Amino acid sequence: MKKLTILLFAATALAAGCKKFTENINTNPNQPTVVTPNVLLSASLNSSAANLALDFQNTARWMGYWSRSGSYIEDVPTETYDIQPSYADGSWQSLYAVLTQYKGVEAAAGSDPFYSGVAKIMEALHFSTLVDGFNNVPYSQAFNLNKYPNPKYDDAATVYAALVQQCDSAVYYFQKAIVYYGTAPSTVVSTDNTYDIVYGRAALALSATQRMDYWIKFANTVKLKLLMTARGSSASAFSASSITTELAKVTATGQGYIGSDYAGGGIAYDVAANESASVNPGYGTANAAQQNPFFGSFYVPSGTPNNNLAYYRANTYYVNYGNNFSDFRFTDDYLINLGGAPYVTGNYDGDPNAVSNSLSSQLGQSTVPTTIGPLHSSAQDEFLMSDFESLFWQAEAASLGYNVGTLTSGKLADIGTEQSFVYVDDTGSGSASQDAADAETNFIAGTAGTIVDISTSTPTLRAIMTEKWSALNSINWEQAYTDYRRTGYPVPDGTNFGFSHAQNRVTHSSKDALGNVQSVNLPYRYLYPQSEINTNAGNIPAGTSAYTKIFWDNREQ
Amino acid sequence: MKKLLLVSLCFLMLSITQVFAQNRTVTGTVTSKDDGTPIPGVSVKIKGTANGVATNSAGKYSLSVPSGAVLEFVSIGFTTVDVPVKGSTVINISLATASNQLGEVVVTGALGQKLQERSLGYATAQIDSKQLNQAAVTDISTGLQGKVSGLQVNLTNNGIDPTTRIVLQGNRSITGNNEALLVVDGVPIDDVNYITTINPEDVASVNILKGGLAAAVYGSKAANGVLIITTKKGSKGKPSITVSNTTEVQSVSYLPALQTGFGGYGGEGGSFVNADGTVNAVPYENESYGPAYNGEKILMSLSPIYNSSGAVSGYDTLYRNYSPIKNNRLDFFNNGITNQFNVSYDIGSDNGTLHVGFQDVDVSDVIPFDHARRDNIRIGGTENYGKFTVEYNASYNQNNVSTYGASYNQTSGGFSGDLFYFELLNTPADIPLTKTTLQSTTGPVVYDPSDLNGQYSNVNSYYNAYSGNPYWALEDSRENRDTYTFQGNINLSWKATSWLTFSDRISIVQQTENYDYYHQGITFAPWAVSDPEHAGNIPSALVSIYPATYFDTYMEQLLNNDFIAQFDKKISNDFKISGLVGANMQQSYQTNISLQGNELQFPGDYNVSSTLGIPNYGTDLFKERDDAIYEEATLGFKNWLFLHGTNRDEWNSVLNPAHDHYEYPSGDLSFVFTDAISALKDNNVLSYGKLTAGVAEVANINLGNGTNPYGAYSLVNPYNVANGFPFGSIGGYSLSGLSLNPNIEPEKTIDKEVGLELGFLKDRIHFTANYAHSDSRNQSLTASVSTATGYSEELTNAGLVTNDVLEFDLNTTVLKSRNWQWNLGLNFTHFANKVVELAPGQNELELPGTSDIYAVVGKPYPVIETEDFVRAPNGKVIVDPTTGMPSVSSSLTTYGTTNPTKIFGINSALTYKSFSFSFVLDYRGGNEIFNSTEATEAFTGISAQSAENGRQRFIFPNSVVLQNGQYVNNTSVAVVNGNGGQGGSFWAGVYGSALGSIYVDNAEFLKLREANLTYTIPTSALASALPFIKKASIALIGRNLLMFRPKSNDSIDPEFSDAGSGNAIGNTSVAETPPTRFYGATLSVSF
């Protein structure tokens, strides 16, 4: 028995030793658990770029830019509009994931206001995309897992109004940053500059103050986008007077909008002022993950294509528009077939008789890198907001009588179009001024007819939106889809965008922007995603279908 | 009672006779009936007296016996035999292994203790070497299938590198590990997959501690039961060498049911569509929605003709017959050959024993080019030095596996292509898949698709425009896995006093693995890139593919030390106490380095250093330590009542130091009522009876996953290098979608068990029944959360799963005579489990590892959830009143559990003289399977079902249409397009869509797992002809010879699972190749 007692003592001593043995080896040797805000910001902005480049690509088909090749099997939900909750789930999740990244930037920002400013404005941009796709979404209770494991859904108009305020606070932080950089250590200034992969890029060579000026322009433009998008809403926050008040705040900042320093008068263009908000951390061919994400979804780094390039073809809808209205950007967006230029063949999306690859045009040009078209190289910038998109936002606001500066809506749309031509390097001259001149000769002054003639000082909304739609081809399809839903435009040839040629499409009748009844319509929105049904079912608004309108959608039923 | 008395009286009479007999000397040898080896130490006693001797090391004895006496041969572990002396002076006897000497059987319990079966208050089972190896299995786990209740071994994939999943008494954890703990010679190895590195021929026995109760003393790693493997240590006696060789043929059992009526067409327009709307066969299609086969000549492959200046001037074409080729896909597979060579050497004396075993297994798979080779050597033995004993064991295992990789089609770089089986299944029935002679424009041509340089079978010419040549994925894309494992342990014991023994057991397991995955590069010929058939072919889509490599090397080291003081003391005549106190230290350590280059410069040089750009790379290191002290005691009263208790205190490094200590108590009771109740004693009808009951609480630290094996560093959210970063000098980091929990605690399971064990007719019938109930709370759930929370998953302690398991085993000796013996074993297990709760507010959880498999509150675990048709309230499918097409519901429907709820096994072993025949039947049922491969088959129009209506329009069976707000039976609206291809077709559009309910099948099956017919050459025959041979036998063996399934399941082996050894069983894909059967012969000779 004595021995047993001794043993028990020994065991107790061992137990005390046990703790030491097991502690102190649980520190993660593989990954950091604390990081600085700069590395979070660069990753967040790069995610934003991927998000804009890859999400909601279905709308590039819905908006008549791309079609499925006849060599591939039908994509039933996209082509027949029979969408399910899982349909846009991936895009929902990637949007919330990137928003979470910016929340992390905000949390880590510390005393450096620049990081808070970027986070605020990027949140506003991505949340607007969410609302545009899903209407009510979790906002006020989002990003707080411990407190709100099941975040409630906020009213879409309320979210939008909050996003407008978020643009103001972004401007506030950027203004603060200008002051902060005045006294901050030079290492802080240079680190922030390096990790600002939007405006801090060496190619732009901006001073800290200039960088902040550009960010303020971007914030102002996002605010304009929010106000213009929501103007169809009946919410008081988006009444004409509220919009006027909010735009007055923009004017008060002094920086204006992206591209708004374009000089007026004559056929002027300002090709040097590339103010587009675009991401480029150093895209290139070093690795598949280091390619521009849009380009990288079509090519491997060595420049050989992957299956996506074979899967997506030119859409006959856009090709016909280009031919009919002499908008030769379609020869930049798509490959001119060997049959003789300009000759581009596409398919109508979902067409049961769609032709195969060797008989239809691919996206972009036959060899990469190229300067022509939206798909040109591994190293190309990824737009968060292109200058031409900004100019069309300003044109829309100006045409509605809002004060966005000195230029007329016609002038704004005109230079927006020119900038688009410059971007796609129409005719491949490599000269920006030549491209801008092409815009005038081939297009604006061409056989454009009533829709596209924006050389007059007061173009119709139809003309502006059609121009914008054309400019956004293969660049911002999701915005084109939103523009279509909120304005009903473009309707370039009198037919509605129920233009998938798939059989057995889901039918939903409504009137198009010209007042004609259409029996087949694009979905008005996405369904709440399956992941939310699985995890947050209690909060999902009831009774939504693919034809429930987003809060700003006031089209006639 | 009267009968009993009468029997006793007979015995009494028998003893009386003996007393008056005359003495003489009887000699003989006692051998084992199993292997003919001599048994030393057998007690040979004159029945009814105290007179007797023990056999020597050669199994020989000599004893003076009165004539007419009865000799009783008793040895632990063997059946006692009584032999009347009669006139003979030489009595050689062979003893059979005691399978039914209930209560006296010694089993290996937790921590290697030798325990009397009667003292156990919980469910265990034992499988000996012979039962394990009767079908010459190459993997221990497959040798356990169907043999005991409560054990479920799933062969989830039977390729060259098979995966098994071993679960005891049901699934307790929703997302954590549910597999049993492996214990080899007393040393716990926390990864049951190491079982594949042990040579089954080296195994002396496998003890199965079925539930948490039996295993509580092992702590958190044993919450799901334990497989205790005891390896051979040699035996006393003359040296013996056993050499055996097994050669088996492996062949594909069956393929999914596929149609052979229609050839290639995928919705092409133009010249493929006739004026009347009918379509022509498309020669380059991988979809089979074409016209019915008609035997006409059709283009097979193009081969360019070059003119003098080197330009393509035309195409030489090869033709095939547009008619199905019989068994073309089946013939693609080889007959695999498995050759197993074993040598073992055993020797021993009173001072020690030694076993050396060597095994070489060489497997050529049914899949062409797949090959594996395993070599294993083990040395095990014991040494006795008075009070000191040493047991030791060392084994080295080398496993080289080479298997197919992914194809090049549909790639976006790297290794994301389809698998060969996908390509194979979706090849139309008229495409030759093996060597054959075809006609070309220039005459007959030998067409061999496996020749990747062939004129018509190279990547440019291969018929299929959209899918690669399946041989490419076999020949030019390979995964090679080389694993080197060392296991060693040494156990030092010191018998300090008669009742107290100290021992220390130290072990190391070290495994290094090199994994090398590469694929060749391709530069498609310009003529193929120009797409002469206007097909939109792969060459035009991809132009060229770089060679790529992925290299991964890992090292794992598991260290374990147990210091144990074991006591066994008689307190009084009635009371006895035995047990142990111990301390355990474990360390697990793993490092991992991976490198990937997607654009290698030189064909055939698969070194990552020759990649263009920046390779992908990663290193990881994981370490876990676990400390424990434990106590175990059994208090025995009069050898019929045993109270047993254990307690373990554990400290684990992966938990927060604030609460890293856990206690696992257990207690159980065993009551041998046939000994306790005097009226039941010495009853020949009910010879043995035992009741048991117990309860245990075990905790299970379930933080590990596929990339983090131990769950280390799972308390603080780490930042990961963001995709693509660093860009030059710009770094980027982001959090993952998983929110960790610093206060995570282990899962807690309370196991309750009651059992009954009965032996009838001197234990010729042995029956056990066991009921176990477990409540597993506080699970470490990786619960999906709304992504609006900032995370997609959260690690949380929540949930409750209950398991009710009923186990019955019935082992009988049906026949027993001098020439005949027939042992029949039946086992039955019923599993009922239920997910009672998940994380708060959560009703279902999709399990990681595959799709469509869920844990759903209130349902068994796991279940299938998938999309069904949109149905009317009466359950009929609603179809569109104009198109006749059904639609797919946007919500998911819950189907049955994928885990078998009923498992029934039959083991039969029949011996007649030198012949023995044994087999194992295994039934599993009560579950469903999601055959997602069928969706792929429907999509490409190759499934048998897709041809049921002759590709004509048909009225969807049992459908309704909405008319004036009422659902009325649809008798007139046929589906708009009863074919596939493009444009709202039924088969590709509906059956190939998200719709999953139609692929949910009844998963029940009955398999003839093993069969063995052995002829053992009689010792007498050997003795005269080949005296140096002690034993020789020849056997015909088979595995998985037959399988019966319900007709509705015409797809794959329902045991297979895409999730491998993960929890989400029940979903299959093209990653699981067809089931196979093995048959062959074993020759075994002992010297």
pLDDT for position B111:
78
Q: Among A16-25, A168-177, B485-494, which stretch is predicted with the lowest mean pLDDT?
A: A16-25
Quick check: A145 and B842 CB within 8 A? Answer: no
- Long-range own/partner contacts, residues B1023-1029 (CB < 8 A, 24 or more apart): B1028/B1087, B1029/B1085, B1029/B1086, B1029/B1087
**Number of residues in chain A:** 557
Q: How far is A501 from chain B (nearest CA, A)?
A: 9
pLDDT for position B1007:
95
Helices (H) and strands (E) in chain A, counts: 21, 6
pLDDT > 70: percent of chain B: 96
pLDDT for position B990:
83
- Residue A479 above 90 pLDDT? yes
Quick check: A43 contacting B, CB < 8 Å? yes
Q: What values do phi and psi take at B169, rounded to 5?
A: 50, 35
Confidence of residue A474 (pLDDT cuts 50, 70, 90): very high
Q: Which of residues 218-257 of A touch B (CB under 8 A)?
A: none
Q: Among B249-263, B764-778, B882-896, which stretch is predicted with the lowest mean pLDDT?
A: B882-896
Please provide the average confidence, as pLDDT, over all residues in chain B.
Answer: 88
Residue B678, amino acid: S
Ramachandran sector of residue B468 (left: φ over 0; alpha: ψ -120 to 50; beta: rest): beta
Average pLDDT value for residue range A78-89: 90
Average pLDDT value for residue range A143-157: 95
Pick from A163, A25, A20, A179: nearest CA to A114: A179
- Residue B10 above 50 pLDDT? no
Confidence of residue A59 (pLDDT cuts 50, 70, 90): very high
Q: What is the spatial distance between Cα B941 and Cα B953, in angstroms, rounded to a whole number? A: 15
Q: What is the spatial distance between Cα B1057 and Cα B1066, in angstroms, rounded to a whole number? A: 5
pLDDT for position B424:
94
Ramachandran sector of residue A439 (left: φ over 0; alpha: ψ -120 to 50; beta: rest): alpha
Q: Which residue would you say has higher pLDDT here, A557 or B65?
A: B65
pLDDT for position B433:
95
Q: What is the spatial distance between Cα B716 and Cα B731, in angstroms, rounded to a whole number? A: 21
Determine the angle formed by the axes of helices A461-471 and A409-424, rounding to 10 degrees: 20
pLDDT > 70: percent of chain A: 88
Pick from A122, A156, A168, A169: nearest CA to A230: A156
Please provide the average confidence, as pLDDT, over all residues in chain A.
Answer: 86
pLDDT for position A16:
53
Quick check: B885 and A281 CB within 8 A? Answer: no
Q: Among A321-330, B121-130, B410-419, which stretch is predicted with the lowest mean pLDDT?
A: B410-419
pLDDT for position B11:
40
Each residue's pLDDT tens digit, B707-753: 888 999 999 999 999 999 999 999 999 999 999 999 999 999 999 99
Q: What is the spatial distance between Cα B1066 and Cα B1049, in angstroms, rounded to a whole number? A: 13
CB pairs under 8 A between A and B: 320
Quick check: A138 and B786 CB within 8 A? Answer: yes
Average pLDDT value for residue range B802-817: 93
What tokens were used for B1062? 């993960």
Q: Which residue would you say has higher pLDDT here, A439 or B478?
A: B478
pLDDT > 90: percent of chain B: 55
What tokens were used for B297? 């000549």
Q: Which residues neighbour B898 within 8 Å (Cβ) at sequence distance 6 or greater?
A: B853, B862, B863, B864, B927, B928, B929, B930, B1003, B1057, B1065, B1066, B1067
pLDDT for position A389:
95
Q: What is the spatial distance between Cα B722 and Cα B734, in angstroms, rounded to a whole number? A: 6
Q: How far is CA B38 from CA B343, B976, B1026, in A?
A: 20, 79, 18
Quick check: B725 and A69 CB within 8 A? Answer: no
As beta bridge partners, residue B251 has B1077
Quick check: B722 and A43 CB within 8 A? Answer: yes
As beta bridge partners, residue B28 has B61
Q: What is the spatial distance between Cα B498 and Cα B486, in angstroms, rounded to a whole number? A: 36
pLDDT for position B4:
44
Quick check: A30 contacting B, CB < 8 Å? yes
Strand ranges, E, within B161-311: 163-168, 181-184, 187-189, 203-209, 226-231, 237-252, 297-306
Each residue's pLDDT tens digit, B378-432: 999 999 998 999 999 999 999 999 999 999 875 556 677 889 999 999 999 999 9
pLDDT for position B52:
82
What tokens were used for B278? 């009918």
Write out chain A residues lying below 8 Å of B891, CB-based. Answer: 85, 533
Ramachandran sector of residue B1066 (left: φ over 0; alpha: ψ -120 to 50; beta: rest): left
Confidence of residue B5 (pLDDT cuts 50, 70, 90): very low
- Residue A11 above 70 pLDDT? no
Chain A interface test: which of B723, B787, B852 (most A C-beta within 10 Å): B787
- Residue B998 above 80 pLDDT? yes
List the single residue in A84, A143, A304 with the smallest CB-CB distance to B789.
A143
CB B313: neighbour CB atoms within 10 A?
A: 11
Quick check: A30 and B619 CB within 8 A? Answer: yes
Q: Which residue would you say has higher pLDDT here, A456 or B514?
A: B514
Q: Which residue would you say has higher pLDDT here, B535 or B336?
A: B336
Q: Which residue would you say has higher pLDDT here, A211 or B978?
A: A211
Task: Confirm if A547 and A526 have CB atoms less than 8 A apart.
Answer: no
Quick check: A29 contacting B, CB < 8 Å? yes
Task: Confirm if B664 and B141 have CB atoms less than 8 A apart.
Answer: no
- Residue B1023 above 80 pLDDT? no
Q: What is the ipTM of this complex?
A: 0.91
Each residue's pLDDT tens digit, B162-220: 888 999 988 989 988 899 999 998 888 888 889 989 999 999 999 998 888 877 888 88
- Residue B6 above 60 pLDDT? no
Average pLDDT value for residue range A410-429: 84
Average pLDDT value for residue range B543-553: 91
Each residue's pLDDT tens digit, B464-508: 998 899 999 999 999 999 999 999 999 999 999 999 999 999 999
- Residue B1058 above 50 pLDDT? yes
Quick check: B844 and A534 CB within 8 A? Answer: yes
- Residue A356 above 90 pLDDT? no
pLDDT for position B1046:
92
Q: Which residue would you say has higher pLDDT here, B1030 or B1082?
A: B1082
Q: What is the spatial distance between Cα B606 and Cα B547, in angstroms, rounded to a whole number? A: 8
Each residue's pLDDT tens digit, B25-46: 888 888 877 666 778 778 888 8
Quick check: A504 and B786 CB within 8 A? Answer: no
What tokens were used for B274? 């006739």
H/E stretch holding A244 reads: helix A240-253
Q: Which residues neighbour B542 within 8 Å (Cβ) at sequence distance 6 or greater?
A: A304, A305, A306, A307, A310, B408, B411, B522, B524
Q: Among A457-466, B861-870, B977-986, which stretch is predicted with the lowest mean pLDDT?
A: B977-986
Quick check: A353 and B583 CB within 8 A? Answer: no
Each residue's pLDDT tens digit, A110-122: 999 999 999 999 9
Write out chain B residues lying below 8 Å of A33, CB-based. Answer: 716-719
Chain centroid to CA A434: 28
What tokens were used for B730? 């710009």
As beta bridge partners, residue B650 has B628, B662
Q: What values do phi and psi take at B837, rounded to 5?
A: -150, 155
pLDDT for position B99:
52
pLDDT for position A271:
43
